[in-house]
Amino acid sequence: MFGSERDTLEEAFPGDVVGLVNATDLRVGDSLYVEEPVEFPPIPAFAPEHFATVRVRDVSKSKQFRSGIRQLDEEGVVQVLRDPDFGDQAPVLAAVGALQFEVATHRLESEFNAAVELTPTRYRVARRTDEDSRAALRAMQGVDVLERSDGALLALFESVYWLERLEAEQPELTLDRLVAEGELRARTD
């Protein structure tokens, strides 16, 4: 991609690495085809276990920061969760492992020239919830409800004990476990 020579191709084959110039309408996971549409199963998103708030250190780099956050989210490097009250000012990054935060931080700083500050949160566990449960959950201490870029609402809990107690005492609230898409499909088949 960063080579000094470029050639225009009329044809590519499976396994070829092809760069598309100015292909702004394409996103990670999109498929290109000529006649018959091709559709692949979605890349699974696993349940996050680590959560940190990220902020840009220099507000003059806010545009680069937002661009970098959007790209990292699209690539699946981390899941980006937003509070509707704060938007992109201080999104929460959700990851399976702490190493994902290091990768995200490095990429934001080196590729997008946006130095960031990462602050671990007190959240310990996440559950998928719905709009009907959102207000009740947000009114509780130790719980917050944030939105993922795909529109899913995630309830974040500071205590696993509090989550378990809430599930037992208020079963009417929607608190679904997060599982990988492939695992979900295998369970329902």
Q: How far apart are CA 62 and CA 3, in angstroms?
A: 30
Q: Regarding predicted confidence, which is higher, 37 or 3?
A: 37
What's the rounded Cα separation, in Å, for the pair 162 and 173? 14
Say which DSSP state 4 is in.
S
pLDDT tens per residue, range 8-37:
888 888 887 777 776 667 766 677 777 888
- And the tokens for 12? 């590519």
Separation in Å, CA 169 to CA 49, 163, 164, 173: 24, 10, 9, 10
pTM of the entire predicted model: 0.75
To the nearest whole number, what is the mean pLDDT of the chain?
Answer: 86
8 A C-beta contact, residue 162 and residue 122 = no
Residue 80 has pLDDT above 70, yes or no: yes
Q: What is the pLDDT of residue 88?
A: 78
What pLDDT does residue 157 have?
96
pLDDT, average across residues 148-170:
93
Torsional sign, CA 107, 80, 53, 86: positive
Q: Over 90: is that where the pLDDT of 38 sits?
A: no
Instruction: List, for residues 103-119, the tens digit of each pLDDT value.
Output: 999 999 999 999 999 99
Please determine, for residue 185, whether its predicted confidence score (pLDDT) is greater than 60.
no
Neighbours of 122 (CB within 10 A): 11
pLDDT at 188 over 60: no
